[in-house]
Copies of this chain bind each other. A is one copy, B any other.
Amino acid sequence: MATSSSMSGFPEWLPEMELIQQKLIETVRHQYQLHGFAPLQTRSIELISDLLSKGEDADKEIYALRRISEEPGNDSESLGLHYDLTIPFARFVSQNRGKLTFPFRRYQIQQAWRGERPQLGRYREFIQADADVIGMNTLPVRYDGDLIRILRDTLVAMALPPIKVMVNNRKILEGFYRGLGIEDITSTLRTVDKLNKIGADGVRKVLSERGLSEQQVDGALAIAQIECDADGLEQVRSLGVSHELLAVGLDELETVLRAAPSVGNVEVVGAMHIARGFDYYTGTVVEGILADHPQLGSICSGGRYDNLASDAKVKLPGVGVSIGITRIMGYAEHLGLFSPTRRTPAVACILVDNEDTRADSDAIADRLRARGIPCLVSDKARAYGKQIKAANNLGIRYVWFPSSGEVKDIVTGEQAPADADTWQPAAETGSWKD
């Protein structure tokens, strides 16, 4: 529909869709700023060694860079495009920690690149909108609650269809598994994380093949199927497994869930199967989906990373959330969630009587622009009907007749005298769909 499919995995939106994308991005930016997060843009390029040391299977997905005038084997062979915004942010904070004020809050809205096989919701180039806070030495779990609340408020402001935000804590899963005597925590986490994809039977099969006992598999599946609010965490405790880490994790998750109760179309739940793929998460993990379309992938995610930015000298624990702008756009297009009509930011088109009086129309446009009203002047001094049709094609609601000084509302059909120094268009509906 509105994508240019000339290169698979690299979406490009036509103006009517890009206007929606910009509105979503502006909404996110505004919310992050309201909460005092400072803007940041990191370079798109990182040392491949830095990228490789962090995530699961990241090595397959990195785009390496080389100047084409340069012989292979040169230094810049070691450069690659970042595949998320968290690793670059942690690197930036670690490098600049003497120049920053902690806890350091930043938001970052930027592209990332992964050389994955393209499919619905999976792109090779995509825009993410992240908010993170990194503390010096310590960062109380209160910040995990703050970030989930900011994520919730931002999703509410985006006016998307119903969203389910699922929160968990890796300490719960790790503590629970250790309490059950499971030793291979990482692969168990990853398998359980796929519960929604491969189902309980699938998880059971994989875990059994990995050598877990029936009791261990039963336990891992029992906890994975719990979904609850803060009070409901009793269900986990009542499974009868005990471990110090489990208790810590349950306390942390309770704090987070109490800080960010469900609001409006955004439901926030504790969901014990959520683990997230990246290795760097150490506590809170979060993942949000379109509630009515659970078969689609997550549209936002995040978590706590206590060691990503830390080095030998100092601990720099962090927690953050990420909203997948391109993925939301892709799902929205796939589901037919909107039918955009505007193809320009202009709300008014000043008609032109004839080319000799074009300057009069330009002058009206300048007066509107001086008051912050986006507008266009007709490209051709044709018959009014044709000029109005051209404006309508762009989704422009108002046309301005320079000789009579009247403005016509194409939607209502009303036409009335107007003064370019005072006229105002009707307030926008605020819906992201048009």
Residues of B within 8 A of A373 (CB): 34
Interface contact A34-B374, CB-CB below 8 Å? yes
Contact with B along A109-149 (1 / 0, CB 8 A): 00101010000000011010000000000000010000000
**A343 at the B interface (CB under 8 A):** yes
Interface contact B14-A100, CB-CB below 8 Å? yes
Residues of B within 8 A of A92 (CB): 4, 12
Contact with B along A180-208 (1 / 0, CB 8 A): 00000000000000000000000000000
Residues of B within 8 A of A379 (CB): 103
A14-B100, A374-B33, A375-B36 are contacts. A68–B42 as well, Cβ < 8 Å?
no
Q: Which residue on B lies nearest to A58, using beta carbons? A: B68
Residue A59 contacts which of B66, B68, B346, B390 (CB distance < 8 angstroms)? B68
**A22 at the B interface (CB under 8 A):** yes
A14-B99, A69-B59, A369-B35 are contacts. A111–B44 as well, Cβ < 8 Å?
yes
Interface contact A18-B40, CB-CB below 8 Å? yes
Residues of B within 8 A of A68 (CB): 48, 59-60, 62-64, 80
A329 CB to nearest chain B CB (Å):
11
Interface contact A36-B346, CB-CB below 8 Å? yes
CA distance A386 to B394 in the complex (A): 55
Q: Which A residues, 21 to 37, have Cβ-Cβ distances below 8 Å to chain B?
A: 21-22, 30, 33-37
A243 CB to nearest chain B CB (Å):
28
**A170 at the B interface (CB under 8 A):** no
Interface contact A37-B345, CB-CB below 8 Å? yes
- Chain copies in complex: 2
Q: Which A residues, 58 to 103, have Cβ-Cβ distances below 8 Å to chain B?
A: 59-70, 72, 76, 80-81, 92, 95-96, 99-101, 103
**A19 at the B interface (CB under 8 A):** yes
Interface contact A394-B59, CB-CB below 8 Å? no
Residues of B within 8 A of A7 (CB): 43, 45
CA distance A39 to B7 in the complex (A): 20
CA distance A369 to B34 in the complex (A): 6
Residues of B within 8 A of A374 (CB): 33-36
Residues of B within 8 A of A45 (CB): 7, 10, 124-125
Q: Which residue on B lies nearest to A66, using beta carbons? A: B64
**A106 at the B interface (CB under 8 A):** yes
**A6 at the B interface (CB under 8 A):** yes
A60-B69, A62-B68, A105-B344 are contacts. A18–B38 as well, Cβ < 8 Å?
yes
**A13 at the B interface (CB under 8 A):** yes
A311 CB to nearest chain B CB (Å):
14
CA distance A124 to B45 in the complex (A): 10
Interface contact A66-B66, CB-CB below 8 Å? yes
**A225 at the B interface (CB under 8 A):** no
Q: Can you give 15 contacting A-B residue pairs, CB < 8 Å? A: A19-B38, A33-B374, A34-B345, A34-B369, A34-B372, A34-B373, A35-B369, A35-B374, A38-B343, A43-B125, A63-B67, A63-B68, A65-B81, A72-B72, A142-B358
In the complex, besides A2-B99, A35-B376, A63-B67, 18 extra interface pairs with C-beta distance below 8 angstroms are A4-B95, A4-B96, A13-B41, A15-B38, A19-B38, A30-B372, A33-B345, A33-B374, A34-B374, A36-B374, A41-B127, A61-B67, A62-B67, A62-B69, A63-B66, A72-B72, A101-B343, A101-B393
The 8 closest A-B pairs by CB, nearest first: A36-B346, A67-B115, A36-B376, A15-B38, A10-B43, A33-B345, A60-B69, A34-B369
